[in-house]
Structure 1
Amino acid sequence: MKFSSLILLSLSMFSYVSCSTEISHKIELCGRAVITAESTKSVGNGLDFTNYILGEESKRDILLSPLYLGGDLNAVRAVFENFFPHEKLNVTENVQEDVLGNEIGTYFTFYSKSQEDLIIFQNEMSKRGVELGLKSESQSQCAPGLVNISVLKLDPKEFDGSVVTNLSKGHVLGLDKISNHVKSLDSKNTTPVAAINGGYFVINNEQGYLGDPAGISVIGGRLVSEAVRGRPALLIHNGSRISFNVLEEVTTEAFIINAGKKINLLGINRQLGSIFNCGLNEGEFTFVSHDSVCSINNDLVIYDRDFGEVDVVISTSSAYAIIDENGMVLSSNDAIDGILPTGYYLLAAIGKRYVEVIDNLRGKVEYSWNVYSHGKKVPIDENTYLINGGPTLIQDGVIQYSRFKKEGWNTVDIISAESSVDERDGLTLSPESTKRANFYKGWLLTRHPRTAVGIDSEGNAYFAVVYGRNPLYSDGISVPELAQFFHSLGIQKAINLDGGGSSTMYLDGKLTGIPSDSNGERNVAEAIIISSK
C-alpha cells in the first residue's frame, strides 16, 4: 500500500470534558509522522476517555469510477476519450493496489472547481453506460479531511467493574440501539458507564435470521453462535482482574453424541441453509468471504434458549427434534412453541443426509462444544465473553496486512458465494468482472465509520469508535489507517469490529459523536458494555 498524503492532527475537546490533561503522541499515518495533542477525561476508576480530531475540513468534490480490468478498462477508456477534451474537468487514471501492493484494477478520478460541472458530466456518462459516483475527496484514503475518533482506555489494574457482551432483548433474533442495550443491563443491578457496538451480524432476511451474529459469540460462558472458520475474535474475561486478548484462527466444534456415535453440527442458532460470511468448519464452504452468503442443501443446526422463539425454525425445517434438560427426545405431541426452556435444545435439519440423523435419534442425546485458537482449546467459563470481528489489525505489535485476505477480504469473486451488503453503507459492486475488487476497495481502502479494540503491552484495552460519512464533522477512516493509528499508540494487539452505521460509543448517558445513518443510531445485534460496581 502506497501512502503519500500528510494527515494533520488538531486538538479537539467535547463540551462535556470538564477536566483534562494534554499529552503529546507521535502519530504515523500514510507514511508521515505528525504530532498531535489529546484531551483526556477520567470517567471512572481505570477509565479514561480521549477524543481525537485528525486533519482538516475538505470541501472538494470528485467523480470516482469503479475499478476496471481488461476489456472493461479498454471500453471505458474509449468512452472517456471520445468525450474529451472537456475544458472544465481534469481526469487522472489510477492503478489500485491491495494492502500488499498487488494490482487489483484501474479507476478514474474527475476533478472540477464546480460541482455542477461534475454532475453534468456524471449524467452524460450515465447515458453512455458508465456510472460515476459523486463523492467528497476526503473519503479517499490519505486525502485531506476530518477524522473524529472516540477512544476509551480501560486499565485492568484500576478498573473495578465488568465488561460484557449483550444480545438485543436477550436473544439472537432482533436488533436494538446501543442506548437500549445499555438500558437493558441498567435494570440488572449494574451501572453501565459506556458501550460500543460489537461484532458483525445478519442485517437482512437474505442473509439469514435478522440479528444472528455473523461469527462466534460466547456470552457468559455460553456458545451462542459458531465461528466463521479462521477469523479472529475479541476475548474478554471478568476474573479477579479483567483481561483481554485478540484470538486468531478461531474455530468451533459443536456435536451431539447419540447411541455411541458422534455427530458434528454445522451451526448454532442460525438459519438452516444460509451461512453469512461463509467459513464452515467442514465441507465445501470452509473459505471465508466477508459480506457474502453461502447456501447449502444439507444442514444440521442446534438452537437453545438464547435463540428466541423457535416457531420460525420449526416451520422451515425438513425435520426437527426437541431435546429436554435430561437429553431425552420429546415426542411430537410435546412440541414447544415460543422460547425454549432452560436446558432444552431444538435440533433441526434440511436435506436427506441430516433428516435421517434426526429420524434415527434413539435414547439420550448429549450436546457439547469447544472453541479453538490456532488449533488449541480455549478455556471457557461463566466469566468468558467472545465476540466476532476482523480483520486482525495488529498482533505482537505488527500490523497484519497479510491476514486480511485469509480472514475474508479477498479481491477475487468466489462463484459459490453471493455478495450481500447493506445499501446504507454505499459500497460499489459493479462492474461484474471486478465486483469483489470494488467491494475490497470500497470496504477496506475507503474511509468509513469503524469500531475496533486494541490492547497494549500492559494489558490496557482501548475501545475506539471512528465516526464518519459526514465531511463537515468526520469522514471516517480506512482499515489500513485505523491499524496505523493504533500502532502509533503502541498497541500490541487489535481487532476491527462491525462498522459503518453501526459504529457508536455511548458514554455517561449520551453518544460521543454523530452516527452516520440519517435517522441516528443503527439497530445492532450485540453491544460491548462497560459497567462499574
Structure 2
Amino acid sequence: MKKTVTALLIAFTPLVQADNWSVPDLAIGQASLTQKVEHTPLEQGMDFYSVIRGQDKGEGFLLSSGILSQEGLHTITEKLKAASIRYSAESATETSPQGNPLGSIVRIRGFANADEAQKQADQLASDGLPFSVRDAAQEGLPSSGPYVISLLRVDLNQYQGKIKNVLAKETIKNAETVSEMVSRTEATAGINGGFFAFDNDVGDFGAPAGIYVKDGQLLREATNHRPVMIIDNSGEKSRLTFGHSVESRVWLQTDEKKIRADGLNRKTGKLLNCGGFRSKPTTEAVHDFVCSNDNEILIYDRNYGDRTPLQAGTELTLARNGEVVRISNQPGAPIENDKKYIQLTGRQILPVSTGDKIAIYTEILIDGKAFQPGSHVSMISAGPTLVSAGQIIPALRNVQGWNPYPATDNVAGSQDDDNLGNVTDTGHREGFYEGWVLRRHPRTAIGVTKDNIVYSAVVYGRNPGVTEGATITEMAKLMKALSVENAMNLDGGGSSMMVVNGNVTGPASDGSAREISDAVVFIPD
C-alpha cells in the first residue's frame, strides 16, 4: 500500500515553483514524530502536501472492554483475576466535554496479530466477558503511527478557481465517489463532504444528514445546533466561513394561518442524527442515532428525485404560483420540475382545497442570527467544530451531537456504519463517545485562517502498520497547528478521501472508495 501511495505522488507534475511555506508538526500521535513531506504545486495559490508521519513500531493488538461503570469494572476485573489473566484498568484518554471522567477501560495487551487477539476474545466471551479486538495504535493512546496525511493548501488571495460543494449526481438521494464528483466537475482536487444516510434504514441512501443549501436555496433542513460551512462565490474570489450552530425553519402560509413544517426532501418518519423540530425521543442533535416522528409535514421538489415517497398519508401538489392543484390520499407522485409537493403523515392536516394558495418560507439562523444565503452560496453541515476563533473548545461537542450524557437516555445506542455503537452499562453514550471521538479513525477536516488560506486535511486510517487515523482532538490540534481561525470536522471513516489531479492520495479504509452524498471540490477558472 505504501508503494501505491508513492506512485500516485510521482505521477503529479509540478506546475509552479514551491513557496516558502513548510508543513508544521501536525500533532498526531506521539509528540515530535518525524514527518516525511512531498510537496506538489498544483495551480497558482494551490499546493498539495503528502505527509507520512511517524513509523510502524509493531505495537500489535489489544482487547478493550470499552467504557465501564464502577460496578462493571469490578465485575470484569474480579473475573479476570480469577482466570489469572493480566490486564490493566485505565482511565479514558480524555475527559468528557463537561470535564468529568468518562469512566474506566480494561485492556488486555500483548497480542502480535488480530487472529491471536480474537482467539482470546472468543474465549472471554464464552465466559461472559465481552471484549473488542483493537489495533493498539488506533486506541487513542500515544503511538508512533504511522499516519498518512494529505494536506491541500489553497490561498484564496491568489487562487484563480472556485471552491464548490457538489451533490452526488446532482440530486438529494444519490451517491458517488469523490473521484467521480471531481471528474464530473473537472476539478483539480476534492475531498468528501458532510454526513449522509448510509443505507435506506436510516433515511434515503445518499441523502445529506443535515442542512444543505445549493445556490442559495435550502434543499434540506438542518440538524439543529450543528456546525456549518458556508461557501460564498458571489465575488471574484471564493469565501469560506463557519458557524458553530445552525438552525432552519420551514413555514407554510395559507390564507388562514402560518404552519411550521418538519423538513424538506427527506424520508418521512426518520431523522438521522436527530435535531429536528419535532423529532423523538429528542430534539437535540445526537450523532449516529435515528430519531422518528409519525406526524410530519414534509415538502418535496425536483431536487429530491423522480418521485415523492410512497406511503400512507395525504399529498398536496402545488403549482409554481403556490396554487393547490391536486390533493391525494395516495402519496408517491412523479415529481415535475415546476411543482412542489407537501406530504402530511399521521395526524397532520392542512385545511385547504384545490384552488387555494400556499406560500412556502424558509429561515436559517447561524449562531442565533438570521442568515439569508445569496444565489451563489452553498452550505453543508457536519461536525464537531474543531477550532473556533483560534481555540479548541471541546464543550461545543455537547450541543452539536456528541454529548455523552444527552437529555434522554433513550439514545444510549446508535445506528452507525462503522460499528461504534457501544452501549455501556451506564445507560448513557460514554461508550459511543470513546469509540467515535477518542479512538483513531480516518478523518477529514477543513478550515480557514484569518488571512483566507483554506486547509483541507485527510488522515487516512484503519490500515494497521500503514496508516492509523486520528482522534477528533488530534484533528483539532492539526488544524490549530496550521493556524486556522475556524475549522470543522467532515464525514470520516470509509468516507474520508482526497483526490488530486484525478488520483486518490491514500488508501481507503473500506478497501475501495465509498460512495457518498457530496464533495467539496476546487475547480479551476
- Establish whether TM, by shorter chain, passes 0.5: yes
Residues 178 and 192, structure 2, Cα contact 8 Å, conserved in 1: yes
Aligned match of 1:286: 283
Other-structure match for 1:499: 492
Alignment partners' CA distance in 1, 2:328 and 2:243: 44
Q: Show the counterpart of 1:48.
A: 47
Shift of 1:47: 1.0
Which structure shows the bigger proportion of residues in strand conformation? Answer: 1
The answer for the alignment partner of 2:237 in structure 1 is 241
Which range moved further: 216-225 or 140-149? 140-149
- Aligned match for 1:489, one of 468, 482, 486: 482
Q: What amino acid does structure 1 have at the position aligned with 2:449?
A: D
Hey, what's the Cα distance between the residues in 1 that align with 2:182 and 2:22?
31
**TM-score (norm. length: structure 2):** 0.90
Identity %: 26
Residue correspondence of structure 1 range 126-525 to structure 2 within 5 A: 126-141=125-140, 142-185=142-185, 191-238=186-233, 239-281=235-277, 285-311=282-308, 313=309, 315-332=310-327, 340-352=335-347, 354=348, 356-357=349-350, 363-412=356-405, 414-417=408-411, 419-423=413-417, 425-434=418-427, 436-518=429-511, 520-525=512-517
**The residue matched to 2:103 in structure 1 has which SS?**
strand
Contact kept, 8 Å, 1:301 with 1:349, in 2: the verdict is yes
In 2, Cα distance between the equivalents of 1:333 and 1:478? 50
Cα contact 1:67–1:434 (8 A) shared by 2: no
Partner Cα distance (2:34, 2:119) in 1: 41
Note the alpha carbon deviations across 1:122-173, whole angstroms, 9 max, x for none: 2221111112222221102232211111111111122222222222221112
- For the residue of structure 1 that corresponds to 2:184, the secondary structure is helix
- What secondary structure is seen at the aligned counterpart in 2 of 1:379? coil
TM-score (norm 1): 0.89
* Equivalent residue, structure 2, for 1:94: 90
Q: 1:240 to 1:420 in 2, by over 3 A?
A: same
Instruction: Name stretches of at least 5 consecutive residues in structure 2 with no aligned partner.
Output: 1-5
2:320 is paired with a residue whose SS is: coil
Q: CA RMSD in A?
A: 2.6
The count of corresponding residues between Structure 1 and Structure 2 is 508
CA contact 1:225–1:270 (8 Å) conserved in 2: yes
> Distance in 1 between the 2:469 and 2:459 partners?
6
Deviations 1:270-312 (A, max 9, x none): 111211111124676321100011111211111111000224x
Deviates more, 1:440-449 or 1:135-144: 135-144
Shift of 1:52: 1.6
1:6 maps to which residue? Answer: none
Q: Which amino acid aligns with 2:320?
A: E
The AA in structure 1 aligned to 2:416 is D
SS at structure 2 position matched to 1:112: strand
Is residue 293–residue 418 contact of structure 1 (8 Å, CA) maintained in 2? no
Cα 1:55/1:264, change in 2 over 3 Å: same
**C-alpha distance in structure 2 between counterparts of 1:304 and 1:127, whole Å:** 53
Q: Secondary structure at the match of 1:208?
A: coil
Q: Which runs of 4+ in 1 moved over 6 A?
A: 333-338
Match of 2:3 in 1: none
